[in-house]
């Protein structure tokens, strides 16, 4: 009798437990779907592309030049690729970053944000990542095995000339290529403005390491996000210097390639427009301030929210009877 009772209780307990588990699964699924829908509704795109005809109409005085040079306004736009190196399983991170970048549309520039990772390894990834690509087309899968300090950055840069080789597209496909962390917030308008006066060749741009240094010709740019011009991307593909030196701390090694190859005669230190989140305070942090291109080390939601609030990112939310956000 007692035996039976115990086993009944155990049965019930395991039934309750599995029910809870089942409900949790449902909730997770539902919340994922909701996020997807939400994103789907709010964003048309992640690749932030300025409308060609809009920019043309601003350029009335240049009409003559445009016609004689055959250039459309989109050819005058600065084209930037931001590759965010991440892992296939980071679905939520990608959805979040799509919100962050899909709501920015820098003037006079075409900024494509792509998520970059190595070969898929799990069956569910083959479905979920393929669906993401069908919906957003903002993913790049390189021919590599996920790794840290074993050449993912090399694979990224050196693969681009071939991946983006398309005779029907502008040449170069991008003027600048960025490698960014997924805990960095780039303000695209400010990024584009900072690039306008800079050369489009032989350029290495970022936040100089070590933190107190302001000299971009010593050492290297922080992995929070650095940028090179397209000619350097091609050089990385063609030169033996990077090919033979792929292992080790990726961002430091990147700087070593350029030093050893006597490359990047043009360098731009974006400090203190790029910096680590103010807390915890270190030699690499800076207060949030208006003249910001990038904030790094946004390791949790609270830090992201504080940053997004500071920059008033929702101030242009259009009024509607459909919602009320105080
Ligand atoms: C266009 O050109 C006219 C005549 O040269 C000049 O007066 C005007 O300020 C220019 N407009 C712009 C937006 O540059
Ligand atoms: C446009 O081109 C025509 C013919 O070449 C020239 O006469 C005119 O001054 C030009 N206008 C401007 C605004 O450059
Ligand atoms: C300008 O366009 C015309 C016709 O599309 C083409 O024949 C010509 O080669 C182009 N010129 C330049 C400099 O691209
Ligand atoms: C990555 O996947 C491709 C295609 O499935 C395969 O040919 C290649 O060998 C894989 N690369 C690595 C490093 O596993
Ligand atoms: C780009 O494509 C052209 C034509 O197919 C080819 O000749 C060239 O080698 C390719 N370049 C790269 C970097 O793949
Ligand atoms: C955000 O909005 C507030 C209130 O309008 C303003 O005082 C502040 O300067 C804005 N911050 C930035 C970074 O633009």
Look at residue 42 in the predicted model and tell me its pLDDT. 39
Q: Give the pLDDT band of residue 137 (cuts 50, 70, 90).
A: very high
Average pLDDT, the chain: 84
Pocket test for ligand 5, best of 143, 158, 160, 162 (most atoms within 8 A of CB): 162
The response to whether residue 165 sits with its C-beta less than 6 Å from ligand 5 reads yes
Which atom of ligand 6 is nearest the CA belonging to 290? 13
Atom of ligand 4 nearest to the CA of 119: 1
Would you say the CB of residue 33 lies under 6 angstroms from ligand 5?
no
Phi, psi of 45 (to 5 degrees): -155, 160
Q: Can you give the length of the chain in residues? A: 326
pLDDT single digits (tens) 160-187? 999 999 888 898 999 999 999 999 999 9
State pLDDT tens for residues 58-100. Answer: 333 344 343 344 344 455 799 999 999 999 999 999 999 999 9
In the chain the domains, ranked by start, together with CATH numbers, are 65-273 (3.90.550)
Sheet of strand 294-296, all strands in order from the earlier edge strand to the far edge: 185-186, 294-296, 274-276
User: Looking at residue 16, what is its pLDDT?
Assistant: 61
Q: Which atom of ligand 2 is nearest to the CA of 61?
A: 13
Taking CA atoms only, the protein residue closest to ligand 2 atom 1 is 64
Q: What is the dihedral of CA 319, 44, 80, 275, to 10 degrees?
A: 50
**How are beta strands 294-296 and 185-186 bridged, if at all?**
antiparallel
User: What is the CA(143)–ligand 4 centre distance, in A?
Assistant: 5
Residue 228's DSSP bridge partners are 177, 204
Instruction: Answer whether residue 2 shows pLDDT above 60.
Output: no
Instruction: Encode 152-181: b = buried (16+ Cβ within 10 Å), e = exposed.
Output: bbbbbbbbbbeebeeeeeeebbbbbbbbbb
Pairing of strands 203-206, 266-269: parallel
């Amino acid at each position: 009798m007692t035996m039976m009772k115990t086993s009944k209780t155990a049965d019930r307990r395991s039934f309750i437990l599995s029910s809870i588990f089942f409900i949790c699964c449902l909730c997770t699924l539902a919340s994922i779907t909701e996020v997807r829908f939400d994103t789907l509704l709010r964003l048309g795109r992640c690749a932030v592309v300025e409308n060609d005809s809009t920019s043309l109409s601003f350029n009335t005085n240049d009409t003559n030049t445009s016609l004689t040079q055959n250039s459309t306004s989109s050819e005058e736009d600065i084209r930037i690729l931001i590759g965010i190196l991440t892992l296939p399983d980071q679905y939520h991170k990608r959805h979040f970053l799509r919100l962050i970048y899909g709501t920015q549309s820098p003037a006079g520039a075409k900024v494509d944000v792509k998520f970059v990772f190595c070969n898929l390894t799990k069956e569910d990834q083959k479905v979920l990542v393929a669906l993401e690509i069908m919906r957003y087309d903002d993913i790049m899968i390189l021919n590599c095995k996920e790794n840290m300090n074993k050449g993912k950055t090399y694979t990224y840069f050196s693969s681009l000339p071939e991946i983006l080789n398309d005779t029907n597209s502008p040449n170069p496909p991008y003027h600048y290529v960025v490698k960014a962390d997924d805990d960095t917030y780039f303000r695209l308008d400010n990024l584009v403005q900072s690039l306008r006066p800079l050369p489009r060749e032989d350029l290495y741009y970022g936040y100089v390491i070590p933190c107190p240094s302001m000299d971009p010709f010593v050492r290297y740019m922080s992995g929070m996000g650095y940028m090179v011009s397209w000619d350097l991307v091609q050089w990385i593909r063609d030169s033996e210097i990077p090919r033979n030196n792929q292992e080790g701390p990726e961002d430091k090694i990147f700087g070593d390639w350029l030093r050893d190859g006597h490359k990047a005669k043009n360098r731009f230190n974006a400090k203190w427009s790029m910096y680590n989140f103010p807390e915890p305070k270190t030699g690499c942090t800076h207060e949030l301030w208006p003249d910001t291109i990038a904030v790094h080390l946004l390791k949790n939601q609270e830090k992201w929210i504080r940053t997004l609030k500071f920059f008033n990112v929702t101030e242009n939310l259009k009024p509607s009877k459909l919602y009320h956000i105080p």
